[in-house]
Structures are given as structure tokens and as C-alpha cells.
Homo-oligomer: A and B are copies of this chain.
Amino acid sequence: MHAILLIRCPDRPGIISAVSTFLFRHGANIVDLDQHSTEEEPGTYFMRLEFQPSRLDVPLPELGRLFAAEVAGPAQMEWRLTTTAERKRVAILVSRHDHALLEVLWNWRRGDLRADVWGVVSNHGDLHSAVEGFGVPFRHVPNAAAVRAAAEREMLGLLEGQVDLLVLARYMQILSPAFVERFPQKILNIHHSFLPAFAGADPYQQAWDRGVKIVGATAHYVTAELDAGPIIDQDVARVSHRDSVEDLRALGRDLERRVLLRAVRWHCDDRILVHGNKTIVFS
């Protein structure tokens, strides 16, 4: 087990020294360190540290309290201390396309994700048995425009306080800003284009109409503004005049799976920090 320390604070000299010396004094052995300073003035400093806590001179929660008092407070740090033993509780929202959902479930079942899957919520019943085959609860919550408010209330009742991450694995309904605000930086979506190109509906048709030679997929955090949240990862594939819209969709399924899985993994491993509308990914 490793401990993970995430830090964000105003940039100034001496932060690395303060943090690393604090940890060293208490017996922590740093095994990974990544950091970033933004270029604007005044800059913001971000750090992710992994350390072995086995020889700590105090229990980990006590280390946190000391860190708050001695280091984080004086330097105005926002920080979070967690461990690789803590697993995110993840809910997956899906409509009818199963590829992104299955990719997450497979990798979870193999033990390749530091996450516990709480369950799957869908506005359709189609994937019920596929999901239960994984031993995962499936909830059908219809969510047409006319019943959106009720559907979101129902989902809020199910999910709030129960999960650390909502993964939209091709969930084809729009979530209201009010719903989104209840899960800040905790809703991951896959958009089937290399955003900002082809935001909105049916991006593969849009891409085909425009005659692009590359299609893509984008994983991003969901914000109140549709398709405009912080981008976490993108990937692309070449296409040609031979490819039909359906071919683009098939190629895209593979991109969507890959991009979404990386984003889920990084989120669960506490590797993503958000700064304004951008992500810092310590991958």
C-alpha cells in the first residue's frame, strides 16, 4: 500500500523542500513525485506524491493533521491524503451502446481498476442481463425529456453520497446543470469526437459530412455547459473517403473505449487535478 498526497497552492519557492522534508522527518519514503506550475502570474502549483507509509512515526491520519498544521496551513494549500487501499465507488450511466460499459466492467473484474462498481443506471432496459452477468446491480431509470426532473431526482436519491464517480459510458441523455452541480469533477463523460470539433449530437455524421481524415474521441469532466468541460484524454484514428458513417462509428467505438478507460483509471488513481477548465494529468 502506498499513500498519495495531492497538493494545490499558490506558487512560491520552497514548497518541495517543505513537503519532502516534512515527509522525510516522519519516516515516509517518497516513491513517486510529479509537479506542475502554471505559467500565469501569480502561478498555481500542483503536486502529486506517492510514498511508502510503512515506517511512519505516526499513524497516517495523524500525519495528515500534522501536515495541515505545519505545512499546508502556512502555504495555503488545498490538499488531499489518500491511499491505494481506498477504492473509489463508481456508478456507470449508460443507454444502449454497451462497448464503453463493458470495457469498464471487464477491467474492473480483472482487478485492473482501483474502484468498486456500485452499479449501473440506464434509461433503457436493454443491458440488464449483460450487467448482471458481472454481478453488478442494474437500475432502469427512464429519462426522456418529459420526465427528466423526476428521473434526476430518482438518480440523485440513488447516487448522492453513495458514489465517488459517475461514468457516462455513452449515456445519451443530457443531465441538467442542477444535477451536474451535485457532482463537481465527479462526472466523467466520453464524447465521440476530438472536441471541440463536432460538439453536440451525432458527431460521426458531422465528421463524415465535413470529410475529415481523422476521427477522435474525448474523455472530459461534465460541467453545466454541454461538451465544454475540462478535457482529460483524447485519441484519434485515421479514416479515408472509403469509410462510411457506420465505419466511423465502428472505429470510434474502439477509441471511446480506450479513452474512457484511461480517464477512469487516472481518476481512480488520483492522477487528475482540475485547474480552471483544464486538467493536469500526472500519468
Contacts and interface: CB of A to CB of B under 8 A. Distances in A.
Number of copies of chain A assembled together? 4
A240 B281 CA distance: 8
Nearest to A22: B17
A212 B231 contact: yes
B24 A20 contact: no
A186 B235 CA distance: 32
A176 interface: no
Nearest to A250: B112
A258 B258 CA distance: 11
Interface in A10-61: 13-14, 16-17, 20-21, 23-24, 27-31, 33, 35-37, 39
Contacts of A212: 194-196, 231, 234
22 contacts: A14-B24, A16-B30, A17-B17, A21-B21, A31-B37, A33-B33, A36-B242, A39-B244, A98-B110, A99-B110, A102-B106, A194-B216, A195-B210, A196-B212, A197-B197, A211-B230, A211-B279, A212-B231, A213-B231, A213-B232, A240-B281, A254-B258
Interface of A: 13-14, 16-17, 20-21, 23-24, 27-31, 33, 35-37, 39, 98-99, 102, 106, 110, 112, 133, 194-198, 210-214, 216, 230-236, 240-242, 244, 250, 254, 258, 277-281
